[in-house]
């Protein structure tokens, strides 16, 4: 099944160091219509190198669904509201799925809001 519309739909992920912080980021994305849906899950354990040292931290993941043409605005917003100096923001194109849901995502990120 093809993604509706020329812009396509994207899943964007970020991680935050607390559930409350992740919920703030998720809610802000919805309030600003930068995403149609944002889910918070966790805790997860992240391993990474920062300032020359291997780090291990408990984090919460935010997965947002948006239109491809909203990714730049969403990314800028996450960087602005996120507590980290260098927040993870990774966008992955959606290549298929429920056409009605994907159309809803596109509509919600453009202010239509039919549901």
Q: Which domains does the chain have, with CATH numbers?
A: 9-108 (3.30.70.120)
* Strand ranges, E, within 26-109: 37-50, 53-67, 90-93
Looking at residue 110, its pLDDT comes to 83
Looking at residue 3, its pLDDT comes to 40
Looking at residue 6, its pLDDT comes to 39
Looking at residue 7, its pLDDT comes to 52
Looking at residue 78, its pLDDT comes to 98
Looking at residue 36, its pLDDT comes to 97
Looking at residue 63, its pLDDT comes to 98
Looking at residue 87, its pLDDT comes to 96
Q: Cα(48)–Cα(96) distance, rounded to whole angstroms?
A: 31
Closest CA to 84 of 15, 8, 1: 15
> Tens place of pLDDT for every residue, the chain, 115 residues?
344 443 599 999 999 999 999 999 999 999 999 999 999 999 999 999 999 999 999 999 999 999 999 999 999 999 999 999 999 999 999 998 999 999 999 999 987 654 4
Q: What is the pTM of this model?
A: 0.87
């Amino acid at each position: 099944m093809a993604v509706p519309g020329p812009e396509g739909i994207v899943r964007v992920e970020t991680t935050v160091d607390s559930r409350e912080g992740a919920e703030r980021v998720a809610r802000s994305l919805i309030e600003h219509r930068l995403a149609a849906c944002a889910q918070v899950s966790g805790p997860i354990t992240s391993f990474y190198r920062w300032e020359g040292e291997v780090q291990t931290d408990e984090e919460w993941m935010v997965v947002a669904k948006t239109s491809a043409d909203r990714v730049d605005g969403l990314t800028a917003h996450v960087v602005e509201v996120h507590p980290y100096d260098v927040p993870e923001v990774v966008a992955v194109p959606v290549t298929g799925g429920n056409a009605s849901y994907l159309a809803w995502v596109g509509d919600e990120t453009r202010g239509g809001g039919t549901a």
